[in-house]
Copies of this chain bind each other. A is one copy, B any other.
Amino acid sequence: MSAANMDVPETIKATDDCAVREVLDLVGDKWSVLIVVLLGRRTHRFSELHRAIEGISQRMLTLTLRALARDGLVTRTPHATVPPRVDYELTELGRTLLAPLTALETWADTHRDEIRAARRRHDDALQSEPRS
């Protein structure tokens, strides 16, 4: 825990003091974490990312990278070559995010089956007792 839990305020404002919300606003979208994880492995250029992340559109890749750069998680390095080439790399700040992200990933790996089981159980229950 981050020191003592302060006062443990009874009321939480989503837009306010909640730190988790901030992270989620940063990387809670569809593609950010994938990009961060990929860049955690090594520097990638635009087209590499585009190929690596199956299903992402050019538009979303651009937008997501721009947001990550704005938040100081990745750097954008254009090379004045022909053809042009742009490298994306994790910043120091971005690299620090890898650890907690990995923790989440581990959790997902560990409990993936439980979640699926719970979901099946829940959905089955709806089938057997749609008796209002």
A41: min CB distance to chain B, Å: 7
- Asked if B122 and A70 make an inter-chain contact with CB atoms under 8 angstroms apart, the answer reads yes
Judged by DSSP, the binding face of A is helix
Question: Is A111 an interface residue when CB atoms closer than 8 A count as contact?
Answer: yes
> Whole-angstrom distance between the alpha carbons of A123 and B1 in the complex?
32
> Whole-angstrom distance between the alpha carbons of A2 and B109 in the complex?
7
A85-104, CB under 8 A of B: which get 1 and which 0?
00000000100110111111
Q: Which A residues fall within an 8 A CB radius of B?
A: 1-2, 8, 10-16, 18-24, 26, 28-31, 33-34, 37-38, 41, 51-56, 69-72, 93, 96-97, 99-112, 114-115, 117-119, 121-123
